[in-house]
């Protein structure tokens, strides 16, 4: 028997997960190693958080988060504005989407993004461009 979850239900799932949350993006160094089996909260990854001019520990809060339905791709999408750190000097390799509860041991990691290589900010603006398909997709 095939199981199909409707697109509006997928969106409702995203809405339920992220309603009332404070979503942040934390940046990590290339020393980080992702372990999808064990890394659940930001205290599991924060030892590799970057530091540098223009970056505040814990990262940056997302703005204009929104969920939508993409009927063409049959998915629900969580999206937000690109993140910009101005006048910054640091190097980042990974970005971690998490729900900030104020306590690292309960601040759930939702996704870890590999930037593909070290990305360097050298005194200017560092922009983390959100993929055109969004941050999280439920298919």
> Tens digit of pLDDT for each residue in 70-97?
999 999 999 999 999 999 999 999 999 9
Cα gap 68→51, rounded to integer Å: 34
- The confidence score (pLDDT) of residue 3 equals 82
Q: Residue 42: CB partners within 8 Å, gap ≥ 6?
A: 26, 96, 98, 104, 107, 109
Asked if residue 11 has pLDDT above 90, the reply is yes
Asked if residue 39 has pLDDT above 80, the reply is yes
What's the pTM? 0.94
Closest to 67 in 3D by CA, of 111, 16, 108, 130: 16
Asked if residue 2 has pLDDT above 90, the reply is no
Evaluate whether 94 touches 28 at the Cβ level (below 8 Å). yes
């Amino acid at each position: 028997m095939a199981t199909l979850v409707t697109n509006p239900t997928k969106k409702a799932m995203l809405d339920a997960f992220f309603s009332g949350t404070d979503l942040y993006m934390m940046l990590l160094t290339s020393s980080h190693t992702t372990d999808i089996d064990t890394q659940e909260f930001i205290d599991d990854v924060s030892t590799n958080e970057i530091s540098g001019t223009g970056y505040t520990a814990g990262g940056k809060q997302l703005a204009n988060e929104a969920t939508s339905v993409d009927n063409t791709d049959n998915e629900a999408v969580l999206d937000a504005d690109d993140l910009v750190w101005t006048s910054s000097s640091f190097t980042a390799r990974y970005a971690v989407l998490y729900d900030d509860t104020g306590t690292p041991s309960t601040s759930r990691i939702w996704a870890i993004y590999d930037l593909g290589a070290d990305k360097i900010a050298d005194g200017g603006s560092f922009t983390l461009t959100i993929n055109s398909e969004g941050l999280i997709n439920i298919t």
